[in-house]
């Protein structure tokens, strides 16, 4: 008999800049059908903003949630092009990814702006998925744990304990994103354990309940080994979330790997 894993595993697709409206609806409904039998994990898809509301409508009432890929901290006003967290919640999303390394790299996001976005997401009733992760140069210099620890502090210290307790952390080493070069389970676990240590130091037992996702070249053939690690609670999946088959396999194999007693 298998034991339910604590925290409850979570698998989230991040579609990045991909797809028409009809592509998005087809992928989302395909995922919903393919993972309908999965009860031991939370699952979400991450469409682009134009498709977000339509995808959320199609998935309403089912077990697959919707994640926005970003969101702004102000509620309204003269911020051309921005989308408020409250608008995202109103469109039917449950989660908002904040601080993705592509946002940090190409759009100038900092720990400070990510922290504001996380706080605004929580205020709007969304669950922020707060992304942190080191570059290859930082890892090669032996600074991975220090960099990730600093990003965790910088993005979460302004959250209340209750807010942090509701959040999801995603460790995404920049060198593993879209490169096919996945972190080894041991490399990922080392960082996840250090994140867990900081969360437990601050929140005690509640820190054990916070989901820490791994992201970076997750595929059906590497998810099982990753999910066997103690502090890897799920995955944030880019390229392999763009087909029903590969994302459903990641969810199914990930759940099996971590619930086996
Ligand atoms: P890939 O799975 O394509 O490496 O992307 C990871 C990612 O950035 C998820 O947010």
In the set 100, 102, 138, 192, the catalytic residue is: 100
pLDDT (mean) for 43-63: 98
Mean confidence (pLDDT) of the chain = 96
Q: Which atom of ligand 1 is nearest to the CA of 46?
A: 10
To the query of whether residue 172 is one of the catalytic residues in this protein, the response is yes
Q: Which atom of ligand 1 is nearest to the CA of 236?
A: 9
Contact 141, 180 (CB under 8 A): no
To the query of whether residue 192 is one of the catalytic residues in this protein, the response is no
Distance 137 CA to ligand 1 centre (A): 19
Judging by DSSP bridges, how do beta strands 234-237 and 10-13 pair with one another? parallel
The CA-CA-CA angle for residues 255, 167, 232, to 5°, reads 35
- DSSP lists the bridge partners of residue 168 as 129
Distance 78 CA to ligand 1 centre (A): 32
Specify the pLDDT at position 260: 67
In the set 109, 172, 192, 229, the catalytic residue is: 172
Superfamily of the domain at 10-242: Aldolase class I (3.20.20.70)
Q: What is the pTM of this model?
A: 0.97
Determine the Cα–Cα distance for residues 12 and 45; give it in Å rounded to an integer.
Answer: 6
Contact 55, 66 (CB under 8 A): yes
Determine the Cα–Cα distance for residues 90 and 155; give it in Å rounded to an integer.
Answer: 24
Distance 76 CA to ligand 1 centre (A): 30
Longest pairwise C-alpha distance within the chain: 56
- Tell me 204's DSSP state: G
Distance 67 CA to ligand 1 centre (A): 14
Name the residue with the closest Cα to ligand 1, atom 2.
238
Q: What is the pLDDT of residues 130-187, one digit of tens each?
A: 999 999 999 999 999 999 999 999 999 999 999 999 999 999 999 999 898 889 999 9
Following CA atoms 162, 168, 172, 178 in sequence, which dihedral angle do they give, to the nearest 10 degrees? Answer: -150
pLDDT at 1 over 50: no
Cα-Cα end-to-end distance for the chain: 7
Residues near 58 by beta carbon (within 8 Å), at least 6 away in sequence:
25, 28, 29, 32
- DSSP lists the bridge partners of residue 66 as 45
Residues within a 6 A CB radius of ligand 1: 14, 100, 172, 177-178, 215-218, 236-240
Determine the Cα–Cα distance for residues 195 and 171; give it in Å rounded to an integer.
Answer: 9
Specify the pLDDT at position 6: 81
Specify the pLDDT at position 82: 98
User: What is the three-class DSSP state of 213?
Assistant: strand
Specify the pLDDT at position 4: 66
């Amino acid at each position: 008999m298998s034991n339910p894993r604590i925290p409850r595993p979570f698998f989230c697709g991040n579609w990045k800049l991909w797809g028409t409206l009809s592509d998005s609806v087809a992928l989302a409904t395909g995922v919903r059908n393919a993972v309908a039998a999965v009860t031991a994990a939370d699952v979400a898809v991450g469409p682009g903003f134009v498709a977000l509301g339509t995808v959320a409508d199609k998935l309403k009432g089912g077990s697959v949630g919707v994640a926005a890929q970003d969101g702004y901290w102000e509620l309204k006003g003269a911020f051309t092009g921005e989308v408020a967290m409250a608008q995202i919640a109103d469109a039917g999303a449950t989660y908002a990814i904040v601080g993705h390394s592509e946002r940090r790299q190409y759009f100038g996001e900092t720990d400070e702006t990510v922290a504001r976005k996380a706080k605004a997401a929580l205020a709007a009733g969304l669950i922020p998925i707060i992304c942190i992760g080191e570059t290859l140069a930082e890892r090669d210099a032996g600074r991975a744990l220090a960099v990730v620890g600093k990003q965790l502090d910088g993005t979460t210290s302004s959250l209340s304990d209750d807010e942090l307790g509701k959040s999801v952390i995603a460790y995404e080493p920049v060198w593993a994103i879209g490169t096919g070069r996945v972190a080894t389970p041991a490399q990922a676990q080392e960082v996840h354990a250090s994140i867990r240590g900081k969360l437990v130091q601050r929140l005690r037992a509640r820190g054990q309940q916070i989901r820490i996702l791994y992201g970076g070249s997750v595929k059906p053939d590497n998810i099982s080994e990753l999910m066997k690690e103690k502090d890897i609670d799920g995955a944030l999946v880019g390229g392999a979330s763009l087909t029903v088959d590969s994302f459903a396999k990641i969810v199914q194999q990930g759940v099996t790997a971590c619930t086996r007693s």
